[in-house]
Amino acid sequence: MVEHKPKLRVTQGETATQVDLLDLTLTDELAVQSLRDSLYGLIDGHPDLRLVINLEAVDFLSTAAIGVLVAVRRRADKNDADMRLCALAPAIRETLNVTRLVEQFQIHDTADQALRSF
């Protein structure tokens, strides 16, 4: 059986946890589900978590992957965690604008800006 894990790097900083997504595209359904599970695992049981999801290396997100970001933000809210997105490709930012999901996230141009925003 082939394992479909998204490529990500998790770094615990002084003020926040940064998750760098390293897949150029997140379109594989099993990888998207695995991403959701990985992000839920970071949030669950960690109240007051400060989470930055860095999309600098991602060119495209499927609708399922965008749905995961919305679900993770909601999970963060339920767990009194705080979440930021950063370094969105123009196509991803445009998709969030058109769907009005941009209003659901705090979005920063760079990871440094997102980390400093806490």
Residues in the chain: 118
Domains present along the chain, CATH in parentheses: 8-116 (3.30.750.24)
pLDDT at residue 5 in the model: 66
Q: What is the DSSP letter of 2?
A: -
pLDDT the model gives residue 4: 58
Tokens of 113: 């800006």
Q: Alpha carbon of 21 to those of 36, 48, 73: distances in Å?
A: 12, 22, 16
CB 117: neighbour CB atoms within 10 A? 15
CB 23 within 8 A of CB 48: no
Element (H, E) at 62: none
Tens of each residue's pLDDT in the chain, 118 residues: 445 566 899 999 988 999 999 876 777 788 889 999 999 999 998 888 999 999 999 998 889 999 999 999 999 999 999 999 999 999 999 999 999 999 999 999 999 999 999 9
CA 12, 68, 26, 105 torsion-angle sign: negative
